[in-house]
Structure 1
Amino acid sequence: MADLQSLSDLKPALDSVAVEVAPVQPKRDAQGRSYGTGRRKNAVARVWIKPGSGKVTVNGRDQEVYFARPVLRMLLLQPFEVCDRVKQFDIICTVKGGGLSGQAGAVRHGLSRALEHYEPTLRPTLKAHGFLTRDSRVVERKKYGKSGARRSFQFSKR
């Protein structure tokens, strides 16, 4: 190694070394399901996907009942639309904490992770669209001497 004068001398040495990379194996349980945990704000979602007709169950209820707003339902199915897997999987999830918006984001995050475990080849697509990244924005805590996180009490001259 002492005869290397620059980084360009290192290239032929690296080309001669062959590195075998094993393909990532899918993670599925005995029933053929994949699991993913999703988080957003204070909500935590546990999500299982299995091949099926596209039925979505959230906390034992249908998605139209649980997530009444169409925007939240659209948010859930974004990972499938990006990967062209719409109506190919049944989704069962349980969500705790937070509000409906945070819960929908948590389910989307969990779905993306479960989809990646089911088909590891989808990881680059999901990552490029930002579905595997946990959105770390949370509500700022209230500070003492303030009426909210940052808002001060109204100033009074007298």
Structure 2
Amino acid sequence: MSLTNATYATGRRKEAIARVWIQPGDGKMLINKIGIDAYFDRAGLRIIARQPFTVTQTDERFDVTVNIAGGGVSGQAGAIKHGIARALVAYDPAYRAVLKKGGFLTRDSRSVERKKYGRHKARKSTQYSKR
């Protein structure tokens, strides 16, 4: 897949960063040079990554190439979803309304809370001792 006349966008979720290129094609999706079915073993993650195409009814119209780094598989699927949505808007601004309404263009800023000093985890306190 050559990336001539491709549209580029960046997607982020948790610690994952996805660099996404879309171009007209027959629906192939490569993530770090591996097919999406081999990269995401859970069907739910594949569905999340493909959601922008489902909402805009462009399932088999674009080939997608993704370079992704950081985070876990759930964050990576969310980053790919965000990147694909932004690339679709860059390709055709008519998709913006439906993607914005579905919440695909908003970066999900939730991340893991840091561990605090004197605590077991971010909020879990030490066990109370009555005696």
Residues of 2 paired with 1:83 and 1:109: CA distance?
Answer: 14
Deviation readout 1:88-115 (Å, 9 max, x if unpaired):
0000001111100000000000000001
The within-5 A match list for 1:8-157 is 31-157=4-130
Paired AA for residue 39 in structure 2: Y
Aligned-residue CA RMSD (Å): 1.0
Distance 1:121 1:70 in 2: 29
Once the two structures are superposed, residues 24-82 of structure 1 have per-residue CA deviations (whole angstroms, 9 ceiling, x without a partner) of xxxxxx82110110000010000000000100000110001111100000001111111
Distance 1:100 1:86 in 2: 22
Q: Secondary structure at the match of 2:80?
A: helix
Aligned AA (2:96): R
* Runs of 5+ consecutive residues of structure 2 not aligned to the other structure: none
Determine the C-alpha separation between the residues in 2 that align with 1:123 and 1:147. Answer: 44
With a CA cutoff of 8 Å and minimum separation of 6, indicate the structure with the bigger relative contact order.
Answer: 2
TM-score if structure 1 supplies the norm length? 0.80
- State the aligned residue count: 129
CA distance in 1, matches of 2:123, 2:41: 33
1:104, 1:52 → 2: CA distance?
21
SS at 2:125 equivalent: coil
TM-score normalised to structure 2 length: 0.96
The CA deviation at 1:135 is: 0.2
Structure 1 stretches of 4+ moved >4 Å: none
The separation in 2 between residues aligned to 1:108 and 1:142, in whole angstroms, is 29
Q: CA deviation at 1:134?
A: 0.0
- Residue 153 of structure 1: how far off its partner (Å): 1.1
Return the alpha-carbon distance in structure 2 between the equivalents of residues 137 and 31 of structure 1: 35
Distance 1:55 1:84 in 2: 16
